[in-house]
Amino acid sequence: MKNLHLKVPLLLVCTVLLSGCTFISFPLIPDPVSVELPVLPRTEGLVLQDKTLLLKVSIPSGEGYLGVIWYQQDKELGRESVYIDEKIPEVTFKQEADPAKPYRVVLLYQKRIIRQYEYVPPQPAKTEDDPKTDPEPDKTVPATEAPPTDPTDPPTDPPSDPAPTDPTGPSDTPQEPPQDGSP
């Protein structure tokens, strides 16, 4: 019991110092995280040739079912699905179409939507001869007409021109003598 008063403080100091060396629940090397990246198709987009829409698609890193769903606005026109792998890496989907109407195609891979393409018909060019293309003709203001004014604005006076001065004639204002000492 004699040395007990020395052992208690020594035990407390050792406890505090050694607690800094313990593992705090962070692993030195974290567990690997598995990430599934989305499948990115290679395609030139939706192309209109004559009266046929074409969608040429390849999936560079996969094999499985590649499908499309064709729409004309909200109306479903059809579905098509093809199995692709290393032997058949590229597929061309075709759909008969009216070039004057908009179309949409949804691309699926393994029953999941991966991309959507749209065909919008080109707008007819406006011609100057056709008055129906511009419902309201341009309203031009003639150059001589002043812009409208606000009636609450105070009237403005035209700027007054100062009277012309004759440099050779007498002047009513006193002249100051030159500063350099000459008369």
pLDDT of 69 over the 60 cut: yes
User: What gap in Å lies between CA 107 and CA 47, rounded to an integer?
Assistant: 15
DSSP string over 12-48: HHHHHHHHTTS--S--SSPPPPP--PPP--EEEEEEE
pLDDT band of residue 72 (cuts 50, 70, 90) is very high
pLDDT attached to residue 37? 78
Contact assessment for residue 62 and residue 51, using Cβ atoms and an 8 Å cutoff: no
Phi/psi at 131 (nearest 5 deg)? -70, -15
pLDDT band of residue 75 (cuts 50, 70, 90) is very high
If 0-12 CB within 10 Å is exposed, 13-18 middle and 19+ buried, where does residue 93 land?
Answer: buried
User: What gap in Å lies between CA 37 and CA 31, rounded to an integer?
Assistant: 19
pLDDT of 36 over the 70 cut: yes
pLDDT of 137 over the 80 cut: no
Range 42-119 classified under CATH 2.60.40.10: yes
